[in-house]
Structure 1
Amino acid sequence: MTNRYITSHFPLISILLFSLAFAIFFQGFLLNQLVDLGIYNGMREFISESGIKLTLLFLLQLFFFMVFSALKLIADTTIELSMLFFSKDEEGNELNKVRAGSWIYLVSSILALLLAQYVLLIVILFLVASLCYFIYLVYKISNTLTTAGLIGFIFFQVIFWSVFILAVVLALVKLYNSFMASLPF
């Protein structure tokens, strides 16, 4: 019997590393945009170059940390809600077995940090890790679900995340359209 708390810090480390990978990419992107807009030289009069870079990195890291933490909270809630609806496991023992799957995100977050200059690869890596974790989750909990419960669990997850992503995309498109409509041409 192993101590189940050994891997309890992996989600936090994974979130920090994924956040850092995205922050590094977007720091470079924002610095290039500031230079192109001619703002960067004016900023250097008030803050040193390393101060600007560290501040941007910190703020971006904080932003992505909050995004990934919120996604983890939502994911944990939807998984537990699905288990409530469809599982025969009332003690939560199956969820303890699933915690070992945090290795998937840890390994992918380390790879993401190595690929920090390529945002598309980081996004793909995150999506692949999420898919692998979902497959691992379904495999681990399948013995406590009936066939109908397994189908319900999978559909619940797929429908929830599809609606969530669609709502975010729709909100972003509406915001973009209203911004573009407000610009004088």
Structure 2
Amino acid sequence: MSNRYITSHFPLISILLYSLAFAIFSQGFILTQLVDLGIYNGMLEFISESGIKITILFLMQLFFFMVFSALKLIADTMIELSMLFFSKDEEGNELNKVRAGSWIFLASSIIALFLAQYLLVLVVVFVIATLAYFIFLVYKISDTLTLAGLIGFIFFQIIFWSVFILAIVLAMVKLYNSFMASLPF
């Protein structure tokens, strides 16, 4: 019998590695923008070059850590809520089986760290890992779901995440439009 807690730290490590990968990309992007805007040389008068880079990396790491932690919290809540609605498992034993899927995110976060210079690749790796985990999740819990429950579980997840992403996109478009409207022409 294996210890179920042996992989309990994998989600935290995955979040840290994904955060670092996105922070590395963001740091390079921000530094390029600062140079293009002519701000970087002025900053060098107050902070050393390595100080600027470390500060930006730390702030981006913190930002992405908060984003990925929030996404994990929301995902775990939605999985458990859909299990409440559609599963026959009242003890939560199926969730213990699913925790082994943290290997998927750990492996993909290591891959993402090596590809940190390419935003599109980072996003693709994250999306593929998420889809692989979802397929793993559905496979592992399918024993406790009826066919209607399985369909309900899948649609519940798809509808929630679609609405969530759509709300974010609409908020960003609204913010962008209000920003553009406020610029003097």
1:45-75 Cα distance to aligned partner (Å, 9 max, x none): 1110000000000000000000000000000
Counterpart of 2:6 in 1: which secondary structure?
A: coil
- What residue number does 1:112 align with? 112
- What residue number does 2:166 align with? 166
Aligned equivalents of 1:141 and 1:81: distance in 2? 14
Counterpart of 2:55 in 1: which secondary structure?
A: helix
- Are residue 122 (structure 1) and residue 122 (structure 2) matched? yes
5+ long unaligned stretches in structure 2? none
Deviation beyond 6 Å, 4+ runs, structure 1: none
- What residue number does 1:184 align with? 184
What is the number of residues matched between the two proteins?
185
Deviation at 1:116, TM superposition (A): 0.3
- What residue number does 1:50 align with? 50
- Are residue 143 (structure 1) and residue 136 (structure 2) matched? no
Counterpart of 1:5 in 2: which secondary structure?
A: helix
1:131-165 Cα distance to aligned partner (Å, 9 max, x none): 00000000000000000000000000000000000
What amino acid is aligned across from residue 141 of structure 1 in structure 2?
I
Q: How does 1:7-156 map to 2 (within 5 A)?
A: 7-156=7-156
1:107-144 Cα distance to aligned partner (Å, 9 max, x none): 00000000000010000000000000000000000000
Deviation at 1:77, TM superposition (A): 0.1
What amino acid is aligned across from residue 78 of structure 1 in structure 2?
M
> If the length of structure 2 is used for normalisation, what is the TM-score?
1.00
What amino acid is aligned across from residue 143 of structure 1 in structure 2?
D
Aligned equivalents of 2:26 and 2:88: distance in 1? 45
5+ long unaligned stretches in structure 1? none
1:20-51 Cα distance to aligned partner (Å, 9 max, x none): 00000010000010011110011111110000
Deviation at 1:173, TM superposition (A): 0.3
What amino acid is aligned across from residue 93 of structure 1 in structure 2?
N
Aligned equivalents of 1:18 and 1:114: distance in 2? 11
1:87-121 Cα distance to aligned partner (Å, 9 max, x none): 00000000000000000000000000000000100
What amino acid is aligned across from residue 163 of structure 2 in structure 1?
V
> If the length of structure 1 is used for normalisation, what is the TM-score?
1.00
